[in-house]
Chains A and B, each alone.
Chain A
Amino acid sequence: MIIILTSKSIGENKGSLITSGTKKRPDGRAFDEMRPLKIEAGVLERADGSAYLEIGDNKVLAAVYGPRELHVRRLLKPNMAILRCRYNMAPFSVGDRKRPGPDRRSVEISKLTAEALNPSVFLEKFPRSTIDIFIEVLQAEGGTRCAGISAASVALADAGIPMRDMVAACAAGKSDGKVIMDLSEVEDKEGEADVPIAMMPRTGDITLLQMDGHLTSSEFEQALDLAIKGCKTISEEQKKAIKNRYGD
């Protein structure tokens, strides 16, 4: 009976391989395993701060300019700096060429990245100025918003901007009936739910929490725990990346 069910589920989900032991995901990862991660700080010459991040096949570049003078008077805040963010996907970052320029998705991600990073930065130290963040997705394979936030936070630290903590972001979700960490593109598209979160690991404050799809409350708890675990792993890598820059 069980064998019949398994073969049926294989027939439905083209992405999943034949199950063997605990490794049950299309790319052979365990349910709580992240894709290989690489972060490098200070990669751009002309930016005040920058970072390059790879997670799986995602390749993301983040640049920070500022704090610098703000000429748009209506945006200026007399008691603090403002944080502006632009998330952009390169036309060659996905399989089918993406039309260049901002679209609904990238405008949403730009806004949410700025809001995820906002609580971490001591904006009140630079009144009447702006900090600009540019996130460029060079190659996308699911989870670029989290990759973007993690990279941007390293870039902010690299720019010497005072922060409460470095923000790390990771997603969890449900695919093929299982709650898993760090969804790949296939798992995101064919899966049941995606929960990206961003947090400050030291305090445990969550600065971004989204969910798309359906999860029961216990599954949600599981997913959140997995995502938090992922954030902590990423946070360690972020710290290493900054320290590596100065040969420590």
Chain B
Amino acid sequence: MLLVEDKQIVVPGEILAEGDYHSGRGTFKEVDKICSSLVGLVAVRDKKISVIPLQSKYIPKRGDVVIGKISDIRFSMWNLDINSPYSGILPAAEVFGKDKRELSRAFDVGDVLFLRVVDVDEVKKVKLGLKGRGLGKFRGGILIYITPTKVPRLIGKKGSMINMIKDQTRCEVVVGQNGIVWVKGKPEMERVVQKVVKTIEEEAHTSGLTDRIRDMLLELLGKNDNKDEKTTKEEDDFKEELIQ
């Protein structure tokens, strides 16, 4: 017997179903009851019930592409903060091959890299690598932190959401699966992207989001143009006053 509806918000400990159902992600089974273990939205597929979390931490998985910030340099590796309970390591061999070179010449503390998770072992040591297309160091730009569960929403179906943002703002946008977003473009455009990404994060659980974000983008961009014109005009007026 199902006790909740699809896409309903549930809280930890809430009973979702009794009897003949399977327990999916974000749920647990107690005797014959399926209970939610998270704050999230219910997803029912056939007889399998799962809860999609509204808030979470990134748990590294092999093959994920993530954005990390160098936090420390050791003898033969870099330590990276990957917005997760487990910090990542990038072995020097991944970057230099067999050559021996000074690590801080390649990457320094505070540098932001785009990496792939090569391996996660049983003691939760997260090995990262730079081999792959587009992986490497970012120059400039800003970082935005969002909840990792909302990354698919930010990307949209076949990248619809992210491509729309890229096209409208003419910014480079890279999303890591650990919930870090790197944006580079004109400073005012970076700010627009930041605002939009934060809105997507807040409203990820609502429907019709892509259309609303499109409206928001157009409004923000339209307003920006007007504002720029206004300020230049005001400045001109001000200059004229000075001359007089």
A residues with a Cβ closer than 8 A to B are: 48-49, 66-69, 78, 81, 120, 122, 126-129, 157-160, 162-166, 200-203, 238-239, 242-243, 246, 248
Q: Which residues in A have their C-beta under 8 angstroms from that of B123?
A: 78, 128
Q: Which residues in A have their C-beta under 8 angstroms from that of B86?
A: 69, 128-129
**CA–CA, A159 and B147, complex, Å:** 10
What would be 30 A-B contacts, judged by CB atoms less than 8 Å apart?
A: A49-B55, A66-B57, A68-B85, A69-B85, A69-B87, A78-B123, A81-B85, A126-B85, A127-B124, A128-B124, A129-B85, A129-B86, A157-B12, A158-B55, A159-B55, A160-B38, A160-B147, A160-B149, A163-B13, A163-B37, A164-B35, A164-B37, A165-B13, A201-B13, A202-B13, A202-B15, A202-B35, A242-B11, A243-B9, A246-B39
Q: Which residues in B have their C-beta under 8 angstroms from that of A67?
A: 57, 85
B51 CB to nearest A CB, Å: 9
B54 at the interface (CB under 8 A from A): yes
B54–A160 CB distance below 8 A: yes
Residue of A nearest to B86 (CB): A69
**CA–CA, A136 and B39, complex, Å:** 24
**CA–CA, A190 and B233, complex, Å:** 72
B144 CB to nearest A CB, Å: 14
Residue among B11, B26, B28, B30 with the most chain A CB within 10 A? B11
Total A-B Cβ pairs within 8 A: 80
Q: Which residues in B have their C-beta under 8 angstroms from that of A162?
A: 12, 26, 37-38
Q: Chain B's interface: helix, strand, loop or mixed, by majority?
A: loop
B residues with a Cβ closer than 8 A to A are: 9, 11-15, 26, 28, 30, 35, 37-39, 53-57, 59, 85-87, 123-124, 147, 149, 205
Residue of A nearest to B10 (CB): A243
B124–A160 CB distance below 8 A: no
Q: Which residues in A have their C-beta under 8 angstroms from that of B205?
A: 246
Q: Which residues in A have their C-beta under 8 angstroms from that of B124?
A: 127-128
B31 CB to nearest A CB, Å: 10
Q: Which residues in B have their C-beta under 8 angstroms from that of A246?
A: 9, 39, 54, 205
A160–B37 CB distance below 8 A: no
A164–B12 CB distance below 8 A: yes
Q: Which residues in B have their C-beta under 8 angstroms from that of A128?
A: 85-86, 123-124
Residue of B nearest to A235 (CB): B13
B13–A160 CB distance below 8 A: no
Q: Which residues in A have their C-beta under 8 angstroms from that of B30?
A: 203
A84 CB to nearest B CB, Å: 14
**CA–CA, A162 and B14, complex, Å:** 12
B192 CB to nearest A CB, Å: 21
B9–A160 CB distance below 8 A: no
**CA–CA, A67 and B86, complex, Å:** 9
Which of these, B12, B55, B56, contacts A165 with CB under 8 Å?
B12
B123 CB to nearest A CB, Å: 7
Residue of B nearest to A163 (CB): B12
**CA–CA, A75 and B12, complex, Å:** 27
A160–B39 CB distance below 8 A: yes
Asked whether A160 and B35 contact (CB < 8 A) given A67-B85, A128-B124, the answer is no
Residue of B nearest to A240 (CB): B11
**CA–CA, A112 and B13, complex, Å:** 22
Asked whether A166 and B55 contact (CB < 8 A) given A126-B85, A160-B147, A246-B205, the answer is no
